[in-house]
Every structure is written in structure tokens, then in C-alpha cells.
Structure 1
Amino acid sequence: MILRLSALSFRTKINCGIVLIVGLIAIPLAYLTWRAAAESLQAETRKRGLVLSENLAMRVSDPMLSMDLLRLKNMVDELDKVDDISYAFILDRQGSVLVHTFTGGFPVELLDVNAPQGDKPTIRLLDTGREFIDDFAAPVVIVGTPFGTARIGLSRTKAEAAADRLALMIVFYSAAAMVAALAPSTLFARRVTERINRLKRHAEEVVKGNLDPRAGPPALRPCSAILDCDKKLCPAYGDKARRCWLTASPDQRGDGPESCRDCPVYREQKGDEIQDLAETFDVMAVSLKTHLDELRRAERVLSRQERLLRTILDATPDFVCLVDENSKYLAVNRAYATFVGQPSGTIVGSTDREIYPEDEGPDMHEENRRVLDAGRPSDREVSLRRPGGPLWLHIVRVPVTDPAGRVIGLLRTARDVTQLKQFQEQLIQSQKMESIGKLAGGVAHEINTPLGVILGYSQLLQEDVPAGSQIRADLQTIEKQAKVCRKIVADLLGFSRQAESAKIEMCFNNSLMEAISLVRHALSLDKIAIVTNLDERMPIIYGDPEKLKQVWINLLSNARDAMAGRGGTVLVRSRLFAEDQKVTAWFADTGPGISPENQSRIFDPFFTTKPVGQGTGLGLSVSFGIINDHGGAIRVETPAPDGFFDAHLTGGEDTPGTVFIVDLPLDHEETLGGPRPADPTEA
């Protein structure tokens, strides 16, 4: 029932409310009026009955003395003609009925139901079964002596019927008033609901986002009295000052809607509560529009700043992340997501325990917790184990606080300093090697003199002893070992770069072929073939032929040692890159290759994988120094690139192999024509 009533329109509710109010007023009023009228009629009836009975008692005194029954009969018959008098009769002193108005015989039971009390009349209410009758008994007194009784019966039912008729009239007029009230109530409800519906439509426009009153629903009310608005309908419902300002001509406008409030025409306009509500709603809409415009502008600025900040953060190679007070990720940049190997959406909401391995996550989490609890920045370097080797990170943690100074999170940036660490290690190693080189150079110079003496005397003594003797064999051993020491001293001098270089113009290919011719026979004894593929343009370089020959021999010797006991092929290539002003040589073998952990150390002095007594560990380091002294570069690739070896060179076997690549600058700009040759190491 309540839901049905709530579903009614507001206009119907107003009409029903007015009818209900009129009905609630009319019905109690009719009842109270009826009760008052009934009681008033009863009182008047009693007064009238007393007057009639006393009057009858006074009038019948003379006829009773003379026993003029006809006259008595005429008196009671006159009363019987009155509509509400049911009966009338006269009793003598002995209680006998002298005259009465009953037509069907006198009811004897009336004789004893009522009697006067002394000289005062009495009233009794009688119920005949058909109606209620007020019975009045007035004493007939003659000269102070009771002489009889005059009895009159007035019908109370007829009096109440008159009161009922009055009540019906009141109800009828009340109903007529209710019907008559429907017309003005309907008009009133229509006016009210129309204004509310206009406000509703305006609210709907606001909900749709149309907060500009000039773009709102058309014509809501005339405003011809507001300044000079050409008697047009206002484009908005509500604030009169704003409507006045919107519709006024430019020269009549003030600085804003508030300026119209000083207008006398505006001050004359009065509004009711709905008008005030509409004006307040319009002011709210304008304020809301202003605030929304400011919010949109702020949103655009924030979005632009967010995109700029996101671009900056994504462009930086540092690993940047923001975590909350529970160490959960709030935001990360692209570099950090790439570093942990997960998308940003997966990282946000997680913790370090979920992102990092089990042996790293708890430490990262605890460090975050210490910074959050202490509220002080942290700056440290940590090492993380990764498949390619240790990864060094320089991590900075800065607490983030709210305006009250409470720590609500922290900003963490991490920078990969692995390469810097490697550079530092290389620098330290270089400094060590420089010290070793200086020491080795000094030692070599000091040893050269006694070695020359030992070698010279051993050779001289061999001439003084017979051939085939044990002493000569011992002297030959001394000579051989002295030459080995001289070779080591020469390598030490080369490593320390204290030996002078004699650079001249030389043919690069000729230098390669001279070294190949020197070692070809020795390699063939180990079943190792040398295959050459040299550039036919015979590039000219500026260098020391002997030192470069030493480099080529070292590389070929290393290739032989790598394939010792198994045989194989050594491929030597050369190419001229005139545009890059360099010449390149490749020394490739079909050996087992170099393990990854040794690749970064092969050019270190005294590093060797050969057994004791078979290598000094200075060959590649000396070669590195010679090439570097010539302004070139040497590097290694292992395994060899796919397709580097032809199938007939390896016998169809899939061998890892190792390739040493040497780049040397040209002495002058080559003007040889032709396209740029392809790099054999490029896949």
C-alpha cells in the first residue's frame, strides 16, 4: 500500500492531501456539530416540555373546578396537534384520567411511570419500543392545594431526527466544499509541480553534464521585468540575478551576476521557497560548473605532468619504484619492469618477497622496513647473483612523507653499476699490471747482462771440450736454457713496452705469409692444416714487421696448442675496409673453443691454461700490447660465428672453434675502388 502511494505523482498526492485535510476537518466538525445540536435540541426540548406542562397545569385549573371536561378535551387536543408532542392527558386528585389524546385507548401503564414531586414538575425518559419520549408531569395546584396532574409526552426521536438532518446537511456541505476545493487544489498542485518539474529538468541537465545555463532547456519563465531583456524567456530557471546578467545587453551588464542584485527591479521581485530553492540550485550549478572546470583544467595539467613524469621515468635507465608503508609496490618505471621481467600491472600490489628470489627478497624487504621505520634515506651497493655473473646495484631509498610529516612510503632508485665495478677492477688490474710491467722491465734489463755472459761463455766452452762428451752436453743444455731465459726476458721487455719499436711501411699480407711459412711445417707435424683467404688488394700499413710477426706466430701457436693431438684446420683471412680506414685479420681454429669464464682473462699477463712448463702466460698479453701500440684492437669470439668455416674445412663436423680478430689502422687513405667487403664474422 505504501509503495502504491509513493508511486503516485506529486500532483495527485497534493490533491489527495488537500481532500484528506478537508475530510479530516469536515468529518470531526460534522460529528461535533451534530452532537452539539442534538444536546442543544434535547435541552431545548426539556425546557419546552416543562413550559408546556406547567402552562397546561395552570390552564386546566378552572375547567377542573367546574368539571368542564369538554374544555379540558379541547385543551389537550390543541397540544396533540403539535408535531413533536406524542400525547397529553389530565389526571384528577385520585389519579383518574379525565381527558387524554390517545385514539386507541389509554395505556394504563403510563399512570405510574411519572408523578410530580410536591409542587415541582418531573421528567422521565420513556422507551415505547418504537421511540424515546420525554414524559413531563406538572402538578395542578389550586389555592396551594394539589388538585391533579397534567402530563405531556415529547418525542425525543423526532428531535434527534432533526439533529441528524442537520448533521447530514453539514456532511453534504463539507463534501461540496471538498469538491469545490479540488479545483483550486488541482490548479495549485499544477503550478507547484510545474515549477518542480522545471527544476527537475534543470537538475537532469546538470546530471547530463550541461552546467551552462545558456545551453540548458529553453524558455522556463518570462523575465520582461528584469532590465532590458527584450521580453525573451530566460535560458535558465533559478537565480534572477544571473538571468538578469545573462539576458542584459553588454553595456548594461556589470562585472558579474552579483552586480544585478543592486538593480531596483530585481529587489522588487519576491520569491517563495521553491523560487529560493531554484535560485540556490542555480547558484550551486554555476559553482559546480566553475569547480568542475577548474578540476578539468587541473586534471589536464596533472595528466600532462603525469605523462611527462612517466616519460622521464621510463626514459631513465635507473630502476625506479614507489612502495607504500607496507612495502607494497605502488608504481614502477619501464626499466624496473624490464629488470624484474614482469609487467608493471603484475608488479603493482606485490612485495619484494614476491618479486625477488628467496635469498634476495627478504633482505630487500627488511631494508625497506628499516628506512620506513627510521624515516631516514639509505644509500648502499648490493650484489645480486645472476646467470651471467654478479650484478651490482647502487640503491638509494628516500622516505616519502605526508603534510603532517608521517612516513607513508618510500621512493627507491637503483642503478646498474656492474660495468663501473668492472672498470674499477680493470683499472686496479691495470695499475697492478703497470707496476708488474715496470718491475718486469727493470728485472729484464738487469738479467739481460748476466744471461748474455752465461750464453757467451757456454758457447765458448763448447769449443774447448770434445764433441760427444758429457761436459759438452751439459754446456749445450746451459746454452739452450739460457736462450729460453733470453726469450722470457724479451717477452717481459715487450710486455713492459720498454723495447723500441721500428715502424715502417709494410705489406699486411706479406707479414701474415711470413709468419705462416715459419710455422706451417711445425703445424703439419701435428696434422694441422693452414688455409689462407687474403685480400688481393695488398693493403699497406705502418708498423713494426718483427713485432707483428711475433703476434701472428703467437696466435698460430695458440691455435696449434688448442688442437694438439686431434688435428684440425687454421683459417687465416684478411680484408681491407677502405671506408673505415682499417685492415682486419681473422685467425680461426677448429679446436674446442674457450670456456666463458676464461674469455675475459685470456689477455691478462701470466694467465694460461697450459700445463706447467708449456707456457708463460705472456703470449696473448704481449700480443695485446703490440696491437694496442700500433693503434689497433684485438678481440676473440668463441664459438665461431655460424657459417664462418666452410664444410670442407671441418670435414662436416660441427666444431665450436675460436676466432681471434685483429684490426689495424691504415697508414694512409686507400683509394682502391670496389664495394666494401663483408665482415666474415657477421651472421
Structure 2
Amino acid sequence: MARVRCLRPGEERVISKTNATALTATGGSAARRLGIPRAWRLRVGLILISLSIATLLVISFAPLGGIVIWLAILCTLCGIAAGYGLSTWRYQAGLRILNAGMIDAQDGNLKPVKIPKVRDPLLLRLYREYNKTITTLGGMFALVEECQNRVLTERNRMNVVVQVLPAALLGVDDNLCINTVNKQTETLFGKKERYLVGVSLFDVLSITDETREILRDAFLYKQDIRNQVINIHLNDAERWLSMNLSFVTQDEGEMAAVITLLDITEYKQLQESVYTREKLVAMGQLAAGVAHELNTPLGSILGYSQLLIDSCEDPQRARHFARTISEQTKRCSRIIHNLLNYARKEKCQGEFCDVNALVDEVVDTLISCRLKRYEISLERDLKDSPIVDGGCGELDIVLTNLLINAVQALKGVEKPMIRVSTGLNEGGFAYIIVEDNGPGIPGELRSRIFEPFFSTKDVGEGSGLGLSISHAMVSRRGGTLRYDSDYRDGARFVIRLPNATQATE
């Protein structure tokens, strides 16, 4: 298609040499060569036509010879032709100029024509309307061309942004078929664009049935997905991805949604290593307390076993000593069992945790030594016997971290006190509340206490990961861990977990 060349309003068009040559080849040039002025050509033509008509009338009624009649008829016809040519030459010349302009416009040259010196109002109107139309079209084409250039520039800019995204981007239609990918997608899946476009999303992603249902429900109900962590297998390796899905307005057959996949495998591995490190640090802090707790029942076992040996002659006393030995042995076993539970990595599916029993075990076996050392009183308000899903392997870590933080915050406080409350709220959720009468947390720091590596303790007393990890553990169970900003008598942390009492019935 020829490129359109536009003129500014008021610019006149110069007829090309070819079109000018075509104009000189017309019948009007003969009239010009005869020397007839332009103003008189129309008048002369009308006079010739009138004379020809008069001649016909004379021939019709006058008695003339045959040859004279034919000569008169011939002269009449020539007069009519000459008169018609002279009278219509002006219009023909004007129309030829307009026709030449239209031919140039078809070639992409949108230029107004030069208006000749004519007095005929019809021709003047045609010239002006044509030039006005050409000028308007020129402006419209210029605007369209400018808009096209802007669209292409914006499209190129957006394409650059999409290609440099750190996440893999996939555009899919309503049938979950891929129609758009970026460079990160090719890198993640190890395939070129031509092997990904047109393929079903489920054929590319080796995902679990649960993730498939999440995607199907999202497309069925047009619901966006935000930061959904999924697990897939790529090239015989396990990968963790953070998936986001957003729907877009689209025409039939075009992109319906955009999916981004961010590889967080290294982050997950780092997170697991941080969890392990925090557990080791916490277990190291508890080692002295566990040793003290074990020494107490072991001393009792040793003493009562010696008394049992010395009192063999009194069966009743022997049974009492034996019963005491058995109880202290069970206590040692319980301490070791709780320590092993503390070291467990994940919650166990199909297991349940008695929250009240968990509080008793953590306080009696892991925290009691610290409470005695710093002379801290601890109150328990345990009720409703809430049961939660997933075992106690992670909850005891969370509760221990909160209690250790409370103990450390009470150093130097007069009459230090910790209170642990449990129960069920009106929504059927189990809760654990740990509060102390210490100085609390300053208002400017409350928004950061759950950030990794943030700590208000002195160097060497904390890693800044305890609350962050505890928050993540509670969140994985579908619960929440928050700091109660309305509590004014110290610090209060509230754990909220889905109750599993009905599941146990």
C-alpha cells in the first residue's frame, strides 16, 4: 500500500506533469487555439446551438432542394457539436483537474488541488469541497499514523517489561491452553516458545490434583489467585513455585488470564535450614533445664531404690518406694518424649493435640527450671479442653518460644508473673494466650516483631527468628499469631487455631 503524504490545511496541490499532459490533450485546447476568450466560450456555444435549432426550423418549413437540405442539416449538426463543446469545456476541464487529484489521492498523495480562475459557482464549490475533504482526510490519516506509532511504541515497551520479568509468565485462554510466554518460562521449563504455545497448561505443569482443582475453580468462578505455593517436578527435580493468577478482559479466542510462576525453591531450602537452626538453638537453650529436670527424678530413683533395698523386711514400705521409683521413671520418660516431640520437623497428618495437656507438658518439663531460677510465678487458666489438628510437634516450639521470651522480658521486674490461658471462642476456634507483666513492646517496634532476624535483645541472646518461625508454623495450620496492642499491663500474644473437636468424635 502506498504511503499517504498529508498536507497542512491551506496547502495547495500542484498537478503532476502526467496529469497536466492529459489535460492538454482535451478538446478545450482547440477552442483556446481559436483565440476565443474564456468568458465568451459559453456564450458562443449557446449562440451556435440556437442558430442550429433555427436552421432546422427553416429547413422544416422552407421549400429547398435536396442537396441544400443535406448541407443545412450537416451545418446544423456541426453547430450543435461545436456549441456543446464550447459550452461544456469549462466543466470538463474542471472535472479533469478533480479526477487527476483523485488519482493522486489513490496513490497516497493527499494534496488539495490548485483552484483555477473560474466564475462558475458550481465548479468553485466542487473545488472547495474536494480540498476540504482532502485536508480532513490528511489530518485523519496523520492522526491514525501517530496513534499507530504510539501503540507500537507502547507494545514494544510492554514486551520488554514482560521479557525481563524475574517470574515465568504464561497467558492462557478459557480452555487453559497457553498462548503467550516469556523468556523466564522457556528457562524454567527448558523448552522453546514454539513447544509451549498451544499446549494445555496441565500438560506443562506436573502438579498435584489439589492444585488442579484450585486452578479449575479459579477459572470457573473467575477468582484471582495470590501467592499460592505449589510443588511440581521438573527434569526429575522437585521445585517450589509461587503462583499468581489474574483475569483480563478479552475477546473471543484471545488471552483470558495471566499466570506468573516464581521459583522459590532456594528460598524454601533456606527457610528449612533456618527452621532447623532455630530448633537447634532453642534445644541448646533448653539443655540445661532438661538436665536439671532429669537429675531431680533420677536422684529420687536412686534414693528410693536404696531405701527399698534397706526395707525389704517391710513389704508395705517397699511397695511405697517401688511406686515412687515407677512414677519418677515415668517422669524421666515423659521429659525425653517431650524433647523428641520438640525436635519433630512437621506436623503429623491424622494426629490431634490436646492444647491443655500441651501447656502442662511445656511448663512442667521445659520451662519450670527457668521459672524457679528467676522466681517467676506462673498462672494457668485452662478450660474447655480444646483439641487441634496436626499433633503437638510444632505447637510446643511456638509455646516454648513465647514463654522463653516472657521469662527474658521479666528480668528485673518486681513480682514477675506469667499467665497462660486456653479455651474456645465464640467462632469455635481454640486459643492460647501468653501474657506477662513486663515492660511490653514499644509501639514503634510492634509492626516488625514478626520480621526475620529482628530482635530487641542484646547480642548473643537471640537470633531474631523465634517469632518469625512461630508465626509461620501457626499460619501453616490455618491459624494466626498476633501481638495484642490493646493490652497495657505488659505483653500479650494470642494464638488462634481451628478447633478439631468434631473431627475426633
TM over 0.5: no
Task: Give the number of the structure whose alpha-carbon radius of gyration is greater.
Answer: 1
TM-score normalised by the chain length of structure 1: 0.29
Normalised to the residue count of structure 2, the TM-score between the two structures is 0.38
